Structure 1
Amino acid sequence: MTVEKWALAASVFFAGSWSGLLAMLTTILHPMLAAMDGRSFRGFLGAFLRFARKAWFNYACSIGMGIAPIVALVAGWDDRGSAAFVLTAIGLALVIVGVYVVANVWKEPHYDVMLAWDPEAMPANWEAGRRRYFTINWINAVSTWTAFVLFLAALLTL
């Protein structure tokens, strides 16, 4: 197996693993969180994010989704017009914008805002904050699911 194939297989693995986590978050936890009142939502979020923000799994998948496709692109540089190269490049762009930029520009700062809420005196706009949290998660999910499909398609074309 070539370096390009190994790197694409790793891209599929990391994006697929992250896709599963985001599927659980958006299709199972979101409805549960949407049914909560403000105090319960803030309480759950505080407990969840305390672990989720520092979980090794999150770091491994997010770093792997960036490094593995870069390795595949470097390995396939001589065939830049191939479907595998183009699909991988588009998938990597989605990871950079839909995961890294969204996380650093919107997601992490919004976590800090929500975690600053007093569960006993929720701000008047807390529901808008919850909707924003859901929207950011959906952007991450769609970006990651699409990248996963692109990486898989790229691997299958080799």
Structure 2
Amino acid sequence: MPIIICTVIASDEPIADAMKRVKAIFFNVVVDTAIESLTDKFETLGEVRHGFGVLLNFQRLDDQALSNQCDNLCMTLRTGNESDIDGKELAVEVKNLPNLPSDNITALEGLTFIHKKHLEDLYPNLWVALRIVCTLPVMWQSQQRGASQS
């Protein structure tokens, strides 16, 4: 049956059979919705990567760029006058990190590294920022499900 639907959709001829027409229209709506959803997801993840990028590429940044990006992350995590992290302290923490297992470490790998080495108290701002970035995709999915159910 899917082969017939695809053939009908690919064709520019009018669809005479009402059931085939409904299937074709339904299929187009489903595909359009899936494409729109994926586009939104990639845009959102791009914004997250931009805001939290310092946590992924800090090893390649000079001191000024690191300081600026840590301050930007601090502003991203600010609500009113409160922030989850201190940008200046985060920059110092990142500069003083011990050698990491690799140059291209993911946020989850960084979080795991800090946890396994029991460094949470030495790097509290990095610990908080990594926990936030590791839960963002889950939080975003939960918000999307909640919005679609209302």
Q: Same fold by TM (over 0.5)?
A: no
Q: Larger relative contact order (C-alpha < 8 A, sep ≥ 6)?
A: 1
So what's the TM-score if we normalise by structure 2?
Answer: 0.35
TM superposition score normalised by structure 1: 0.33
Computing the radius of gyration over CA atoms, which structure comes out larger, 1 or 2?
2
The structure where helix makes up a greater share of residues is: 1
